[in-house]
Amino acid sequence: MISYSVHIVDDEESIREGLLHALKSRYRTRAFPAAEPALEAMREDSPDLVLLDLGLPGMRGIDALREIKILSPEILVIVITAYEDVKSVVSAMKAGAYDYVVKPLHMDTLEVSVRNALDTIRLKKEVRYLQERYLRDNLPCFIGESDSIQDVMELVGTLAKSPDTPVLILGETGTGKELIASAIHYRSPNFKGPLVNVNCAAIPKELIESELFGYEKGAFSGASASGKKGLVEQAAGGTLFLDEVGDLGLEAQAKFLRFLEEGEFYRVGGTRKHRVGTRVVSATNKDLKALIGKGLFREDLYYRLAVARVEVPSLNDRPDDIIPMARYFLLEFSRKFCKEFSGISREAEASLKAHRYNGNVRELRNIIERGALICKGTELTLRDMGIENAGEAIGPGEASDRPSFPPIPPEGIDIVAVQEAMEKHFIEEALKRAGGNESKAAKLLNLNHHTFRYRRKKLEA
């Protein structure tokens, strides 16, 4: 059962005591004779609801209401006024008040207003709980405590508050860009609307326009007799996710730009304008600025898609999160395969941390799935996962393309420090060879430009 807290702010002691007596059996209540001590208490312990008198000594009630909304917009406020002063009530409602009641107070009327306010809060808390549960159950790529992923999730939480700001997600293949899009959708005001995924690379260029915007009956040979709604229309009131947006053809880019700028479009073969409200989130592992330079991507579309940007770090840039994610995946597959696991062996965990993940989170998940499927014991081992052991000897006559490394000294090594030093060395060397040009240096290291910049900034911090 949800517990609610209610703060009462009124300079008349009889009203404060009367409200405390009426509400304390059902809610956690506190009472204050003026706005200043009430605001101070709210900074320490934010209530769900405030009953606020407009005619207070010292700070006026209307000013206190504005301060409360700055402090926490989620706090609901019911204002109390001594007489039905329309001007004061209108000002209070414009400043964010949920409702108002007039003195002398009628408890039946006040309790209806309080119940309605708390029902609103209950619904918001239930939605937030469902959103957080979805994220916990479906977004394992965000498990971990590394600064980089915490920064990403904080940014996602901020961006999600807007229902329509376009967001561009950048990152290597397998980092979970589609899951970032899900996180933005399920934390946004569009939570109850549809999330429509479009893989721009998987749809033939000659069909992408009709898939996005739909078509009218008889628009082309083979078209449905009744016409068809496009994916943009299907995403009305929700989120349209354009995955691999860098593969969108120039003609489709021009038409999608018009939709972003004006919120309207024509179906293929149609003459009637359609308007749709949806949020557009796009993602790519390509360097869009490089594509712009080659004339393959429109610069104006890039800036419309990238009003806000999220750069997802690769798994290799967040080694501390590898084992928590591996354990999560093991739990997931133990349920799927109806097996009981006690954990992952020390040797296997060490190899997981030392492994270079070209496929990022997706590769780690596949490794754990394979291990969980073939494991015959209760502990996942290195043999189960099939990771090549970097320390294995190479037999006589066998060639190897692997670089040679010095042996580990008796006192051990700081593998993270070694990895960072090596990465810093090659980034600096690549920049020298490229004459300081980051795009060229990124190509020398087989990285996209955004990942190169992220790693360079991280190592310079």
- Encode 244-283 in three state secondary structure: CHHHCCHHHHHHHHHHHHHCEEECECCCCEEECCCEEEEE
Residue 50 φ then ψ, to 5°: -125, 130
User: Which pLDDT band, with edges at 50, 70 and 90, does 428 fall under?
Assistant: confident
Q: What is the mean pLDDT of residues 335-359?
A: 90
Tokens in use for 6? 């209610």
pLDDT reading at 198 higher than 90: yes
CB of 229 closer than 8 Å to CB of 273? no
Residue 197 φ then ψ, to 5°: -95, 135
pLDDT given for residue 388 in this prediction? 58
Rounded to whole angstroms, the Cα distance separating 448 from 124 reads 40
The residue with greater pLDDT, 124 or 392, is: 124
CB of 19 closer than 8 Å to CB of 42? no
User: Which pLDDT band, with edges at 50, 70 and 90, does 397 fall under?
Assistant: very low
CB atoms within 10 A of CB 86: 8
Mean pLDDT of the chain: 85
pLDDT given for residue 431 in this prediction? 87
User: Which pLDDT band, with edges at 50, 70 and 90, does 191 fall under?
Assistant: confident
CB atoms within 10 A of CB 207: 11
Q: Crossing angle of helices 13-23/107-138, nearest 10°?
A: 60
Rounded to whole angstroms, the Cα distance separating 433 from 117 reads 64
Which 8-state DSSP code applies to residue 138? Answer: H
